[in-house]
Amino acid sequence: MRTSVEGTVAAGYDPVAEAFARSLSEAGSETAQVCVHVAGEPVVDLYSGAPGAIEVVFSAAKGATAACANLLVQRGLLDLDARVADYWPAYGVRGKESTLVRWVLSHQAGVLAPRERLTMDDLADWDRVAAALAAQTPAWEPGTAYGYHAQSFGWLVGELVRRVDGRSLGAFFQEELARPAGADFWIGLPEAQEARVVEVVAEEPPLPPGTDPASVDLSSFFGPHHLDAFTLGGAVPEDAVTAAADRRYRAAELGASGGVTDGRGLSRLYRLLLDVFTPATVEDILRPETDGADLVLSSPAMTVEQVFGRGFEVSPPTGAPAGVRAFGHSGAGGTVAFADPDRRVAFGYATTRLVPGPPGMDPRAAALVEAVYAALDSVTG
């Protein structure tokens, strides 16, 4: 039996509620939320499962981290075309001397994991991890290619934030963005919020009937950089469910993968960004900075292409009509969050039921996005 849907929907947006109800499993075991703002006003605010619950939203945290850096750029405090070493001298070694700030934001730095083997306990020691990454030789010549910095993005961008502003990434985000947005959203979850956390669960990938999952060889789907990038060289469990279940993971300021919030927090963040970012900043963010194959996510079995602009994913969200321009970031297993500056839409969807699939292409989220734009067209004529 599906979990009941609670919350509010503005007139004309009932199709979104219907799509959300269809997204829930027959088992009714997940907690999920979808929240949408249009022109600053909430038009959808729905949840299933535990009220007030928050969960790890994985790489949707990258959008929050990118927002921090872009705010500093807009204030004239961080120069995208300056060298990283101008702010962080220790970084300028082993082929990284000329790495630009914009390359770090667009996954072109090539610094995926430290040579030094780290553990989960080390995640709490920001200085140690940052120093280990600064000493690393890049996996490719910076600025010549891109590959998804699944874990290191948070430290590379976060250290720039810290060196420019003085506050840690988590503190800067909380004080400058999360609180002003009214968003229950943390990079580094306080102990006092732990009681609200609901654990995520993962569905097995679909296999032909009678197939033993243990017999399936997935090695061809992972490129040579994949494991290091996603585990920070072994510090983070490869399995997302195992990582998210560990208090150490939630407590650390993991600006690439450890954000904790809900659908409402995601939507409220992007609603604020539509107001805080100037039109010039938005246009710069929407300008693609990557092209071609992602060197981390691509493999012998498939080529993956992503489009990043100043830290955000800038491809149109799956399910949106042709021509939609948006910036945001998805997260493992289904989370999707973005802002559409032309139609003033802020969207956030989070779920504890992780479904395997390509990043940002979860069919549940796509159906919700499609319903939002259909309703918006109907309401606005």
- DSSP codes joined into one string, 298-336: -BTTB-----EETTEE-SPPTTSPTT---EEEE-GGG-E
Mean pLDDT for all residues in the chain: 94
What is the spatial distance between Cα 376 and Cα 26, in angstroms, rounded to a whole number?
29
Tens of pLDDT, residues 231-288: 998 999 999 999 999 999 999 999 999 999 999 999 999 999 999 999 999 999 999 9
Q: Please, are residues 133 and 115 in contact by the beta-carbon 8 Å criterion?
A: no
Tens of pLDDT, residues 192-206: 999 999 999 998 665
What is the spatial distance between Cα 107 and Cα 102, in angstroms, rounded to a whole number?
9
Going from the N-terminus, what domains does the chain have, and what CATH number goes with each? 57-204+219-328+344-381 (3.40.710.10)
State the average pLDDT over residues 163-185. Answer: 99
Tens of pLDDT, residues 276-290: 999 999 999 999 999
Of 142-156, 277-291, 357-371, the least confident: 357-371
Which helix (H) or strand (E) segment is 32 a member of? strand 32-38
pLDDT for position 213: 54
Compute φ and ψ for 233, nearest 5 degrees.
70, 20
